[in-house]
Structure 1
Amino acid sequence: MNRIRVQTSENRHCSKITTMSTAGKVIKCKAAIAWEPCKPLSVEEIEVAPPKAHEVRIKIISSGICGSDNSALFQIIQTKFPVILGHEAIGVVESIGEGVTKVKPGDKVIPLFVPQCGCCRSCKTANCNLCEKFEFGFSTQSGLMADGTSRFTCKGKPIYHYASTSTFTEYTVVSDICVSKVDAKAPVEVCLIGCGFATGYGAAVNTAHVTKGSTCAVFGLGGVGFSAIVGCKDAGASRIIGVGTHKEKYPKAIQLGATECINPKDYDKPIHEVICEMTNGGVDFAIECAGRTETMMTALMCTYASNGVAVLLGVASPTATLPLNPGLLLTGRTLKGSIFGGYKGEELAKLVQDYMKGKINLDHLISKRLTLDNINEAFELLRSASGIRSIMIY
């Protein structure tokens, strides 16, 4: 079994891995499998096949537990079962398939759930990051590699991939367009740049383009919402209102940059009306991180009528719709969506460097460190809103 071993403490700071002899061979390791929807995951021994052409096999070092993983488990995001979930991680390249040139064995990498093929219209456009090969979050997801097969097997059965990454396993195989090389000394905490931090922080600085002296509202005080607050603060916002029902999270939100926090349950009127009264007609920017359509509409309606910007991050059901009156936009409001904070894969190396230089902080996101064996505990903590984010160290 390739379990935590000494690599957990050593390889997180080095660029080489001691299992190069496994190249070209099937690897047996541990993985957390979701055999069916809405049920606890099962930690099993699996077989991970070698990478084929333009594929990369990665030894995962650490992985975060994201709300999108829970959404897939409960079929808000359409997913095929049995599946290995997970999409927020950092690891070391164990081996590569034919034709791979962007990484080599021993490189430290972040798997990308938003790939970068470099060839499609989006990849060639400066202000786009949604590659046309992206599957995650849409109504259909094959759960297979490009050749229509899986690299995972358990008990003789093929196991589906998830979000082009599948990080709840000690080893995974991804397309070479789904890896971003980062600093060889990047620590385990950097896994959160693979989704949660980049998604929230980037929504503020890349998608909303929060301006100095502006007023902001952030809906949802989880890992993504906290990262959005940090992004608003770093962009120079003068007032940041955190909106959430879990009051135990308010002190942390204030510590990170929120100027105040409010609970919609404390008022006898719609919360967008409360926010508009607090901000002389509405905030300049609202960022929605909850994934509920009613919250999305609230975020839009709490923005200033003539030039407010609302950014949607939360993942709703594929059948959900917004009851949008065009008049809400006619006066000048803007409604935008954001995936992965607008970051392209090649931009993650700088985020990692910024963290290692102390320019950004990820510690605020981590409330518990667990192992793969404790993955169901991590999901329970996520669903109960206890803490902010758990990471598993392999």
Structure 2
Amino acid sequence: MKRRLYPAYKIHGAIFLSFIILGFIIDGPIKVFQGLQKIIFNSDILITDYVELAGIGPALVNAGLLTLMIILLYLLLGIKPNGSTIMSFWLIAGFAFFGKNIFNVWPIIFGVYLFSRYQKEPFINFILIAILGTTLAPTVSQLAFEGIFPPGIAHLAGISIGIFIGFILPPLASSTVNVHHGYNLYNLGFSGGLLAMVLMSIYRLLGINFEKRFLWNTENTLFFAVFLYSIFTFLLIYGYIKNGKSFKNVKKIFTHSGKLVTDFYLLYEKAAYINMGILGIVSTTYVLLIGGDLNGPVISGIFTIVGFGTFGKHLFNVLPIMIGASLTVFLHIWELSSPSMLLAILFSTALAPIAGQYGWLIGILTGFLHVAVVMNIGSVHGGMNLYNNGFAAGFVALILIPIIRSFKKGG
């Protein structure tokens, strides 16, 4: 059966192929392959910055290669591009700087595939859960390479736990959407966090605990600023040209709340690329203005915002959340440019649909509350859930939405 190579796959394939080429240019083949070994055979729990662990070149190659693999998987399955598939490319690419690699995602994806076979349903019905479910990829690496078990047993244990997670994740992910009513865009972060919390509780019961980890690069902000602005300017110009050299429909994107499921690519197609470019430029500029570092984890946060530019986020539902999250600095607990605050602010935009639905004031309150929750929730899953902010956002939405609805009509 002939597979059509859609323009969206071509353009994204070219973007992520450029990551690989740039990575080899910067560090050369030997350093890249040595760095990839470090990335694969290392702990990936929060926070593990692959740029700090292995270098710019290996991190770029890991991100480009893994994302191209996912694009190829979509092609082999004959999946047409839409907002969710494009969003998943950017999430994979972002977290491939920050916890996901060309090894640890596949046991989980295979586990979801086995679930689809068990249910006698096409794998394409579960493909998004399979890709986004790799939020729990660190569980594979932790058991496989951290010396908890002898080498052969450890590798088997890591792969087995990944397959098991993938197998049980689809029904859990389907049910958690109802908990937050579609207002948490990172639904897999919520369901994955619940699952990781239970797994970590069992580990601790068995006497297994993981040391805290903090790898954070501070030396490559200028390079990554040029890198990111180049990508997002390209997306904006590409969208503008393909949209008939017009910003038509961008204003229409701004009118949506962004609540799941809102697919800007299917609704407005090329205008969605303009939206992505705008979000990327604004979020990168925000990080630079507050004196933050551009590195693997921060790129992951920015790419996540950009990816959801096709699937629920736009400037006017993102900004209120980011403002509210930023206002927590006045509590004098965290510095605005500190790693924890940077990530909390960027990923707080999981709750953008609340601002889109209920307005700026409630959006600002939501962002403020999100930081309070996310700063205290990571320990329950031991850093194994990469979408930690999605986990926190699920609880924030669970609490806020019923309260808001009791005082406001709509929703």
Q: Above 0.5 in TM-score?
A: no
Normalised TM-score (structure 1)? 0.26
Normalised TM-score (structure 2)? 0.25
User: Normalized per residue, which structure has more strand?
Assistant: 1
